[in-house]
Structure 1
Amino acid sequence: MTRIIEPQDWAQEWAEVWVQHPRAPDAPVLLDILSPEHYAAIHLPHAVNACVYEVAFIGNVVNLAPDKKTEIVLYDMNSAAHAAASAATKLEKAGYTNLTEIKGGLEAWLAQGLAVEPIGAALPAEPVIADKNYVLDCDKSILRWTGRNLNGAHNGTIPFSSGALLIENGTLSRGNLVADMKGIRDVDMAGTGLADVLVAHLLSDDFFDVEVFPTAEATFVLARPIAQAPAGSPNVVLNMNLTIKDITHPVQIPAIVAPDDKGIKMHAAFDIDRTRWNVIYGSGKYFKALGSHLVDDTISIEFFLKAG
């Protein structure tokens, strides 16, 4: 059972130990379980870091506290986060028997005016996206596709030849992506003759007819931000016009758009019915008695975009 302690109570309870004997054998280990980058920016005095998100978390704690009877005092970002509870569960399973959590974590500590290190440090500001037109980095962006039939699935990539994403008022508002359909590749059978056969078929007029239609295009015409979306969840819904084989249909997709160094990243995953774009080979809507040649109408698509 993890003991819960108020920040002020913790500060008072152990003040003399930390000031006079910070490395005494019976001194607790004050454990910051957030990322190393966050720890470097701000942490409680005398805290050490072992990030609970890392696979090596328990091994790192063992290095810091070999004696599993040592009191380990954990703190998280705030009371809404689950990292401290997760860390406590992991430590209990590893045999640690003397666990304490600082209630409310780092935010509660700061709210009570208690000292932090480095002196005068504040919580890192949430990164923001500057308003501008970002040019797609085609070398670091990719379209991933998955097609299926009753026997299994194939997946691969298509490169982008150009693109741009416009940020207005801190969120994506419009954009355009052009995919080089002649660059279709299969990944799951890469290095085999079967991959070459599949790619040749996809390039042919049975599927995407790339000699006639060498590009596909996605144009974002409207974006609706998703309020208070947590990190890692879609934070915008995009209305997109998707053009394949010179046929255009509207598609609505959820996406994650986030700052990245001096640019932005975007991830979106969605499904389309290929037959709407006249890609009908092996479709049960258009052919009968297909047997093993039946191909699912649904194609799954993912955008992984980087722009600066």
Structure 2
Amino acid sequence: MKKIILSALVLATVFTSCKGEKKEKVEAKEAVKVETNVSELNNVDVQNSIVTWKGAKPTGTHDGTVHLKSGGLLIENGKLTEGEFVIDMTTIKNVDMIGSDGAGNIEGHLSGPDFFDVPVYPTTKFVITKVEDTEGKLAVTGNLQIKDVTKSITIPASISTVDGVTIFKSDVFNINRADFNIKYKSKTFFKDLKDKFVDDLIEMSFVVKTKN
């Protein structure tokens, strides 16, 4: 009999990386066709799950959080097999300047058309298409949708269950916002920015828990 544990994870997005610091990024490929609909597997503990982001430009860095909206994680015979995860882009928060006008300005800019255009695209989605387990470390491949672009990426993660709560946790990883056509002050699209650029890489991590 299959054991199903529901959970959720999601991806949030913002620019990252420090000037002069080389970071590896996950490779963005063409999206994979998904046959199974797991959107009804919805048992995420949105109050105790969080996505974190960190971003940078030559003058400094900023970090923050995005909350989860919904999603499901399917485990069969003790192994992760499928999942669909949604983040609520309306919950983008800046943490390092919390309580200041600066934090509000950053949140507003990220929510606007220069970046994620949240009024038009209020959610981001990640749908798992493949999971490989190598000595306890998961390589989770899935379709990441940001705005109107969907790409397949593979991220490192681990999963555990403690006292009936399943925890899906990612390592820190980076994606390239240019792959998702987010152009604001991107060196990929503009060649004369000098030190006025915003780095293309997005640094992300998450801890996602099921309801008990």
Question: How much does 1:237 deviate?
Answer: 1.1
Normalising by structure 1, we get a TM-score of 0.54
Q: Relative contact order: is structure 1 or structure 2 higher (C-alpha 8 Å, sep ≥ 6)? A: 2
Q: Partner of 2:47: helix, strand, or coil? A: helix
- Cα distance in 2 for residues equivalent to 1:205 and 1:251: 24
Question: How much does 1:291 deviate?
Answer: 4.3
Question: How much does 1:131 deviate?
Answer: 2.5
Question: How much does 1:148 deviate?
Answer: 1.2
Native 8 Å contact 2:58 2:196 kept in 1: no
The amino acid that maps onto 1:168 is: E
Native 8 Å contact 1:164 1:307 kept in 2: no
The amino acid that maps onto 1:280 is: K
1:93-242 aligned at under 5 Å gives the runs 131-134=3-6, 135-227=43-135, 229=136, 235-242=137-144
Native 8 Å contact 2:142 2:153 kept in 1: yes
Where does residue 58 of structure 1 map in the other structure? none
Q: How many residues align?
A: 173
1:297 aligns with 2:200: yes
Q: Partner of 2:188: helix, strand, or coil? A: coil
Q: Partner of 1:139: helix, strand, or coil? A: coil
1:243 aligns with 2:151: no
Q: Partner of 1:140: helix, strand, or coil? A: coil
Deviation above 4 Å: which 4+ runs of structure 1?
none
1:254 aligns with 2:156: yes
Question: How much does 1:292 deviate?
Answer: 4.6
User: Which 5+ residue runs of structure 1 have no aligned equivalent?
Assistant: 1-129, 230-234
Native 8 Å contact 2:5 2:166 kept in 1: no
The amino acid that maps onto 2:5 is: N
CA RMSD of aligned residues (A): 1.4
Distance 1:146 1:191, change over 3 A: same
Per residue, is there more strand in 1 or in 2?
2
Deviations 1:276-297 (A, max 9, x none): 1111101011123324531000
- Cα distance in 1 for residues equivalent to 2:194 and 2:91: 29
Where does residue 267 of structure 1 map in the other structure? 169
Question: How much does 1:260 deviate?
Answer: 2.1
The amino acid that maps onto 2:196 is: H
The amino acid that maps onto 2:205 is: E
- Cα distance in 2 for residues equivalent to 1:141 and 1:267: 10
Structure with greater Cα Rg: 1
The amino acid that maps onto 2:206 is: F
The amino acid that maps onto 1:242 is: L
Per residue, is there more helix in 1 or in 2?
1
Normalising by structure 2, we get a TM-score of 0.78
- Cα distance in 1 for residues equivalent to 2:55 and 2:73: 27
Native 8 Å contact 1:165 1:307 kept in 2: no
* Percentage of matched positions with identical amino acids: 36
- Cα distance in 2 for residues equivalent to 1:145 and 1:158: 8
Distance 1:274 1:156, change over 3 A: same
